[in-house]
Amino acid sequence: MKSGKTGIYELDEDEEGFPRLTAVVPKELASGFINNKRETYKFRFDKCFDQPASQDEVFQHVAQPVIDNVLAGYNGTIFAYGQTGSGKTFTITGGAERYVDRGIIPRSLSYIFSKMESSPGLTYTFHISYLEIYNENGYDLLNPKHEAAKLEDLPKVTLLEDSDQNIHLKNLTVHQANTEEEALNLLFLGDTNRMIAETPMNQASSRSHCIFTIHIVSRETGSATIRRSKLHLVDLAGSERVSKTGVNGQILTEAKYINLSLHYLEQVIVALSEKNRQHVPYRNSLMTSVLRDSLGGNCMTTMIATCSMEKKNMDESISTCRFAQRVAMIRNDVMVNEELDPKLLIMKLRQENKDLRDQLALATGEQLQDELTEDDIQWCEDAVQRYLEDSDPHSYLSLGPDLRKIQACFKIMKMRILQRPAPVQPQPIPQPESTPDVGPYSKTELKKLKDLLLQRDNEINILII
């Protein structure tokens, strides 16, 4: 956080070193506030980003820690809250003009896929869904028919609750993304389909809530345990009050729905922040129902409050800061969402069953009579192969007490010996046709010796003469 004054706002640190935002209300604005005598408002946050903060800085501080936890199997939510035009969409999705303006969603996708590539011991599967909530109705932004139809013509996304009170969303498609590019294409498709309309406050105001969700399944290689987690990236509709915008007709209806759903969101957040509160009113709105497992309980929630620095928006900015303070009071108990993969679990149990039968046979001295299965024979093949390939002369073939397996392994080895090609016999070196060599000397050497002998005899004869 940068310290300093930004017009009527001041950024510094409180006594405990936390970033603090102080809003100093100018006299001419004070009458518009509920407590019109109050002149300064102080808010404490985990982090404050001043106007020049880069998208990368925001991503690193806000999103990266949440994503690291999501990849480790926890649920995570990041949502942007603030009045229209304060930068929610810019923060969550990003600006379209420059690459450096990419927001939290595309950066999260890049980060997640790069993490996946650098974790060879883990297998990840990613699925993506993109939900828009408009006038309290849910619509699938990734529905293939979306481009051709009006939003209202699409099948509505509805809530279903199972006997364990888990929420399921009917008509919301979930798409697998194997690469960053595929995931970005889904984001692009959803953003293209997003409903936008004009209001007097903003030419391209988003009047709906959008929830981009990355569903992650991970498993360590060879493990039967799978982890399921999800990351919700939420771009809320503008939080400004209706009276401020001076709108009517359809836009007024929309604004009322937005205000109501944000009010219910606030109610849930207030309930979650009260220590001994038993009932949390999640069911009041579609958004709180969808985010039920993502606002409190088993989830890491991060809220980004976007504020306008302009004087005329000061009461909205203070209201946004108040909301953010309440969210900061929620304490969640997070746990990894682990479960066993049914297929791997069955395989594991079958193996355990077999081991137990083998042990029983060993204990009772009784031999198993039924035929070995194809899997058993393959197991024997592999065991023999490993044994033969092992260059250690002291290695042994461990087969357990099952006589059938021992016999199968012997049979496999015998087959391998029988099927081995006959060893190549060394061929005799062809010799020139002549008398065979005698003794340790070759014929050439013998001839040389005979010649030498003859020469010596001649020399002796000459000397005698």
Ligand X SMILES: Nc1ncnc2c1ncn2[C@@H]1O[C@H](COP(=O)(O)OP(=O)(O)OP(=O)(O)O)[C@@H](O)[C@H]1O
Q: Which residues are annotated as a binding site?
A: 82-89
Is 288 a residue that touches ligand X (CB under 6 A)?
no
Q: How close are the terminal C-alpha atoms of the chain, in Å?
A: 126
What does DSSP assign to residue 99? G
Read off the tokens for 306.
Answer: 């976007």
Can you tell me which of 75, 77, 89, 229 binds ligand X, judged by CB under 6 A?
89
Can you tell me which of 29, 72, 95, 410 binds ligand X, judged by CB under 6 A?
95
- Closest residue to ligand X, based on beta-carbon distance: 87
Is 261 a residue that touches ligand X (CB under 6 A)?
no
- The interaxial angle of helices 64-71 and 104-117, nearest 10 deg, is 40
Closest distance of CB 4 from ligand X, Å: 17
**Sequence-distant (≥ 6) Cβ neighbours of residue 26 within 8 angstroms:** 8, 311, 314
Is 90 a residue that touches ligand X (CB under 6 A)?
yes
Contact 138, 158 (CB under 8 A): yes
Annotated binding site for ATP: 82-89
Closest CB to ligand X among residues 262, 399: 262
User: Cα(224)–Cα(348) distance, rounded to whole angstroms?
Assistant: 8
Q: Tell how strand 137-140 and strand 122-134 pair up.
A: antiparallel
Coil/strand/helix, residue 400: coil
Choose the stretch contacting ligand X; rule: CB under 6 A; options: 67-75, 77-85, 334-342, 397-405. 77-85
Number of residues interacting with ligand X: please give it, by CB under 6 A. 14
Is 206 a residue that touches ligand X (CB under 6 A)?
yes
Neighbours of 192 (CB within 10 A): 10
Closest CB to ligand X among residues 180, 254: 254
Choose the stretch contacting ligand X; rule: CB under 6 A; options: 86-94, 252-260, 318-326, 343-351. 86-94
Alpha helices in 274-402 (DSSP H): 286-290, 292-295, 314-328, 342-364, 374-389
CA 33 to chain centre: 45
Closest CB to ligand X among residues 252, 329: 252
Is 108 a residue that touches ligand X (CB under 6 A)?
no
Can you tell me which of 19, 76, 85, 106 binds ligand X, judged by CB under 6 A?
85
Closest distance of CB 137 from ligand X, Å: 18
Choose the stretch contacting ligand X; rule: CB under 6 A; options: 89-97, 176-184, 292-300, 384-392. 89-97
Read off the tokens for 439.
Answer: 């003794």
Is 306 a residue that touches ligand X (CB under 6 A)?
yes
Q: Tell how strand 76-82 and strand 300-306 pair up.
A: parallel
Q: Which residue spans within 135-224 are E strands per DSSP?
A: 137-140, 158-161, 167-170, 175-176, 209-220
Is 107 a residue that touches ligand X (CB under 6 A)?
no
Is 106 a residue that touches ligand X (CB under 6 A)?
no
Query: Shortest CA distance to 419 belongs to which of 373, 377, 375, 384?
Result: 384
Can you tell me which of 202, 213, 218, 294 binds ligand X, judged by CB under 6 A?
202
Q: Which residue spans within 223-337 are E strands per DSSP?
A: 225-235, 300-306
Closest distance of CB 141 from ligand X, Å: 15
Is 238 a residue that touches ligand X (CB under 6 A)?
yes
Is 285 a residue that touches ligand X (CB under 6 A)?
no
Residues that bind ligand X (CB under 6 A): 82, 84-90, 95, 202, 205-206, 238, 306
